[in-house]
Amino acid sequence: MDNPMFIGQILLMIAIFYFLLIRPQQQRAKKEKAFEAALKIGDRIITKAGIHGKVNELSEETVVVETMAGKIKMERSAISMEMSAKLNEKK
């Protein structure tokens, strides 16, 4: 078990695991935080539940979204970064 080749293989597996699974997830979380922080009043968004609307009010953790049915207060994390980006690039 003290074989240096075995230890090297274990370290290689850990490095591969980090670069293929952990690091991409950290980068995605960082992009989502930046997206949430960059929201401003008037932005058109889509929530993760598929609700379309426009940002009406912002606070630290929540956002008020104006939809055709009225206003809805929700967490910033409920807004889909991918779907909102697709919606806004169609403009």
Token pair recorded at residue 86: 């697709």
Tokens 């922080």 correspond to what residue?
37
Residue 34: C-alpha distances to residues 1, 65, 80 (Å):
46, 19, 13
Residue 85: per-residue pLDDT:
85
Instruction: Compute the C-alpha angle 74/84/79, nearest 5°.
Output: 20
The average confidence (pLDDT) of the chain is 91
Whether the per-residue pLDDT at 24 is higher than 60: the answer is yes
Higher pLDDT: 13 or 4? It is 13
Alpha-carbon distance of 47 to 19, in angstroms, equals 30
